[in-house]
Amino acid sequence: MTKASTGGFHRRSLLKTTATAALTRAHVRHEVMEIRALLDRTYLNCREAVHKPLYERHLFVEAAE
C-alpha cells in the first residue's frame, strides 16, 4: 500500500507492482553477476600467486636432485 497525495491509502496496481519487481530482480541479478566476475578474477589471481612459486620450487628441487 502507498499513501495517496490526498492523504489516504490505496493499493498499488498489480501491473505496477509486477513491473517494479521485475526491474528489481534484473538489477539484483546484474549486481550478482558483477560480484561473481570479481570473485572469479580474485580467485584466479590468488591461485596463480600461490601455485606459481610452488611450481618453481618443485622445479628447483628436481634440478637439485
Rg (the chain; Cα; Å): 27
Q: So what's the pLDDT on residue 3?
A: 53
> Is the CB of residue 10 less than 8 Å from the CB of residue 4?
yes
For 20, the domain range is 2-64
Instruction: Tell me the pLDDT tens digit for each residue of 28-44.
Output: 999 999 999 999 999 88
Backbone angles phi, psi at 54, to 5 degrees: -65, -40
Tell me the sheet residues that pair with 2. 10
Count of structural domains within the chain: 1
The predicted model scores a pTM of 0.47
- How many angstroms separate the CA atoms of 42 and 50, rounded? 12
- How many angstroms separate the CA atoms of 29 and 35, rounded? 10
